[in-house]
Homo-oligomer: A and B are copies of this chain.
Amino acid sequence: MSLIVQKYGGSSVADAECMKRVAQRVLDTQKAGNSVVVVVSAMGDTTDDLIDLAKKINPQPDDRELDALMATGEQISCAVLAMALHAEGAQAVSMTGPQAGIFVDEVHTKAKIMTIKPARVFKQLKKGNIVIVAGFQGLNPNQDIATLGRGGSDTTAVALAAALKADRCQILKDVEGVYTANPRVVPEARKLDEIAYDEMLELASMGAEVLQSRAVEFAKKYGVELEVLSSFTNKPGTVVREEVKKMEDIVVRGVAADKKQAKVTIMQVPDQPGVAANLFKQLAAAHINVDMIVQNVSEQAHTDISFTAPVDDLAKAKNVVEPLLKKIGAKGVNYDNDIAKISIVGVGMKSHSGVAYRMFEALAANKINIEMISTSEIKISVVIRGKQADKAVQVLHKAFELGKKSKKK
């Protein structure tokens, strides 16, 4: 008997009909001889609706209260899924994050899971129950509910799978798996059968919205075998797993675009030691996820510092940056949220050269100007104008022949 953790996203549980379909699928999984723990997101647009309500009341809602508000979305869907399972004659019990023993740190709206004490989940599984856990939430040291940030339900599922030593963690979505690129942008994009944790990690953090990066990190850290698959079909999905040697045959696994980043440029900063450190220390203290950082060379002992951060963090970033300008003697600051970050990812890059060159050439040939560059062992990211994002993805997908299966590139 296997233990399977299944996670259903918001669009898979959007309404009563969807819930019934999910209940059927969960029950089928149990009937196939498995113990099943289900993690659910909020139904459809619930989270967005709650945030809209909050902002109507207060444009800058308090994070603790926002968490208390948003956490209800998942509590609703897990209770409703339990009812749907009961209607099918199944034994099922819902739990909030705190009830499932999920303990998180104090950073509201972006909390991290610190530990899971799954005794209550085990107890209910032993009784033959399907256990449904509210994703995206946990109890913090102040005994307050806190949320894990967007996509946090994936993390809940993987962390629970690790804590329960589950045999597999399935992430069920409205897509059939991980693609070489977003199929809405690149019609010839191809579903991958497998992908390495590290590749998935880069793709996830690069805006491929299939899996949340923290979920993949967790899976990698605890060796949880993840499968991304469709909740609407019964086809096998994409398995995310430990890298094996033959994966390196593929130089580029996929290409992703992230349009939710903004670029902040602090102009004419005196080129002295410690200035940048001080800036990024304060951004970190404000829990802003700074991504790419570029410091441009300049004459006159001054330099421009640019960094990217999620558009949603821009207001907070302004609060950090602006009081600092005078202190560090900078001339000004510029915000630009009409950018896109385009990344190509593949473990094969480690053993193949000339990948960056091929990328830049393909973009240049299509009149796409590169504004920032950042590389790692297995990915290359560039920042370009936002409106050129789709074009860039199409160009790169073609340049690296990602539409063709398993050919060496």
Chain A positions near chain B (C-beta within 8 angstroms):
16, 19-20, 50, 53-54, 56-59, 61-62, 64-66, 68-69, 71-72, 75-76, 78-80, 82-84, 86-87, 93-94, 96, 99, 143-145
CB distance from A84 to the nearest CB of B (A): 5
- Contact for A53 among B57, B80, B87, CB less than 8 A: B80
Q: With the chains together, A62 CA to B79 CA distance in Å?
A: 9
Which residues on B sit within 8 Å (CB–CB) of A145?
96
Q: Is the CB of A79 within 8 A of B83?
A: no
Interface of chain A: mostly helix, strand, loop or mixed? helix
Q: Is the CB of A65 within 8 A of B53?
A: no
Q: With the chains together, A58 CA to B57 CA distance in Å?
A: 34
Q: Is the CB of B62 within 8 A of A86?
A: yes
- Contact for A76 among B56, B58, B69, CB less than 8 A: B69
Sorted nearest first, the 5 A-B pairs with minimum C-beta distance are A72-B72, A69-B79, A68-B79, A58-B83, A58-B87
Q: Is the CB of B99 within 8 A of A143?
A: yes
Which of the listed residues A75, A83, A86 has the most CB atoms from chain B within 10 Å of its own CB? A83
Assuming the contacts A99-B144, A144-B99, asked whether A79 and B58 have C-beta atoms less than 8 A apart, the reply is no
Q: With the chains together, A79 CA to B145 CA distance in Å?
A: 12
New contact pairs (6) apart from A69-B80, A99-B143, CB-CB < 8 Å: A16-B53, A16-B57, A53-B76, A58-B83, A65-B80, A65-B82
Q: With the chains together, A93 CA to B144 CA distance in Å?
A: 11
Which residues on B sit within 8 Å (CB–CB) of A20?
57
Q: Is the CB of B19 within 8 A of A57?
A: yes
Q: Is the CB of B57 within 8 A of A84?
A: yes
CB distance from A381 to the nearest CB of B (A): 37
Q: Is the CB of B57 within 8 A of A80?
A: yes
Question: Can you give 9 contacting A-B residue pairs, CB < 8 Å?
Answer: A54-B79, A62-B82, A64-B93, A65-B82, A68-B75, A68-B79, A68-B94, A69-B80, A71-B75
Q: Is the CB of A16 within 8 A of B72?
A: no
Q: With the chains together, A54 CA to B68 CA distance in Å?
A: 22
Assuming the contacts A68-B94, A75-B68, A94-B68, asked whether A83 and B57 have C-beta atoms less than 8 A apart, the reply is yes
